[in-house]
Chains A and B, each alone.
Chain A
Amino acid sequence: MFIVVLCDCLSLPPTPSSHLFIHISCFVIPSFQMQFMLLFSRQGKLRLQKWYVPLSDKEKKKITRELVQTVLARKPKMCSFLEWRDLKIVYKRYASLYFCCAIEDQDNELITLEIIHRYVELLDKYFGSVCELDIIFNFEKAYFILDEFLLGGEAQETSKKNVLKAIEQADLLQENIDFQMRLFAGVMVPNMASEASGLFQN
Chain B
Amino acid sequence: MPAVSKGDGMRGLAVFISDIRNCKSKESEVKRINKELANIRSKFKGDKALDGYSKKKYVCKLLFIFLLGHDIDFGHMEAVNLLSSNKYTEKQIGYLFISVLVNSNSDLIRLINNAIKNDLASRNSTFMNLALHCIANVGSREMAEAFASEIPRILVAGDTMDSVKQSAALCLLRLNRTSPDLVPMGEWTARVVHLLNDQHLGVVTAATSLITTLAQKSPDDFKTSVSLAVARLSRIVTSASIDLQDYTYYFVAAPWLSVKLLRLLQCYPPPEDTSLRSRLTECLETILNKAQEPPKSKKVQHSNAKNAVLFEAIALIIHHDSEPNLLVRACNQLGQFLQHRETNLRYLALESMCTLASSEFSHEAVKTHIETVINALKTERDVSVRQRAVDLLYAMCDRSNSKQIVAEMLSYLETADYSIREEIVLKVAILAEKYAVDYTWYVDTILNLIRIAGDYVSEEVWYRVIQIVINRDDVQGYAAKTVFEALQAPACHENLVKVGGYILGEFGNLIAGDPRSSPLVQFNLLHSKFHLCSVPTRALLLSAYIKFINLFPEVKGTIQDVLRSDSQLRNADVELQQRAVEYLRLSCIASTDILATVLEEMPPFPERESSILAKLKKKKGSSKLPDMDDSRKNVNGSTEHAEDAEVASKVPSHTFTDDLSVNSAPSSGASLLVDVFSDFSSAAPTEGSDEHFPRFVCKNNGIIYENQLLQIGLKSEYRQNLGRMYVFYGNKTSTQFLSFSTSVSSNDVLDSQLNVQEKPVDPLIEAGAQVQQILNIECVSDFSDAPILNIQFRYGGTLQNIAVKLPVMLNKFFQPTEMTSQDFFQRWKQLGAPQQEVQKIFKAKNQMDTDVSKAKLLGFGVALLDGVDPNPANFVGAGIIHTKTTQVGCLLRLEPNTQAQMYRLTLRTSKESVSQRLVELLSEQF
Point out residues on A near B: beta carbons under 8 Å.
1-6, 8-13, 17-18, 20-21, 24-29, 31-33, 46, 49, 52, 54, 57, 61, 75, 77-83, 86, 105-106, 108-111, 113-115, 117-118, 126-128, 130-131, 133-134, 136-141, 143-144, 147, 151-162, 166-171, 173-175, 177-179, 181-184, 187-189, 192, 196
Contact = CB atoms under 8 A, between A and B. Distances in A.
B4 A183 contact: yes
18 contacts: A3-B215, A3-B268, A4-B900, A5-B219, A6-B904, A10-B871, A12-B825, A26-B219, A54-B139, A81-B384, A109-B308, A126-B6, A140-B60, A151-B174, A154-B170, A156-B206, A175-B8, A187-B15
Contacts of B621: 86, 105
A18 B64 CA distance: 65
B202 interface: yes
Interface in B607-661: 621, 623
A20 B825 contact: yes
Given A46-B67, A137-B17, A79 B305 contact: no
B3 A83 contact: no
A174 B90 CA distance: 9
Nearest to B5: A128
Nearest to A107: B263
Given A8-B871, A12-B825, A31-B213, A108 B202 contact: no
Contacts of A61: 69
Contacts of A158: 201-202, 205, 247, 249, 254, 256-257
Nearest to A168: B6
A131 B100 CA distance: 23
Contact of B216 (A31, A77, A83, A157): A31
B259 interface: yes
A81 B344 contact: yes
Nearest to B382: A78
Residue of A10, A189, A192, A196 with highest tally of chain B CB at under 10 A: A10
B845 interface: no
Interface string B151-192: 000000000000100110011011001100000000000000
A117 B1 contact: no
A110 B88 contact: no
Nearest to A184: B14
Interface stretch (B115-123, B477-485, B891-899): B891-899
Interface of B: 1-9, 11, 14-15, 17-18, 21-22, 53, 60, 63-64, 67, 69, 71, 87-89, 92-93, 96, 100, 126, 129, 132-133, 136-137, 139-140, 163, 166-167, 170-171, 173-174, 177-178, 201-202, 205-206, 209, 212-213, 215-220, 245-247, 249, 254-257, 259-260, 263, 266-269, 301, 304-305, 307-309, 311-312, 315, 319, 343-344, 346-348, 381-382, 384-385, 387, 621, 623, 822, 825, 828-829, 841, 869-871, 874, 893, 895, 897, 899-900, 902, 904
Nearest to B4: A138
A152 B174 contact: yes
A29 to B, nearest CB: 6
B216 A187 contact: no
Q: Which of B301, B621, B902 has the most CB of A within 10 A?
A: B902
Given A114-B255, A154-B206, A158-B247, A79 B304 contact: no
A161 B246 contact: yes
Which residue, A24, A110, A141, A158, has most C-beta atoms of chain B within 10 A? A110
Contacts of B205: 155-158
Contacts of B8: 174-175, 177-179, 182
A24 B2 contact: no
B163 A157 contact: yes
A155 B255 CA distance: 11
Given A77-B343, A79-B347, A173-B88, A110 B308 contact: yes
A24 B88 contact: no
A81 to B, nearest CB: 6
A131 to B, nearest CB: 5
Nearest to A192: B21
Contact of B206 (A126, A131, A140, A157): A157
Contacts of A3: 215-216, 219, 266-268, 900
B829 to A, nearest CB: 6
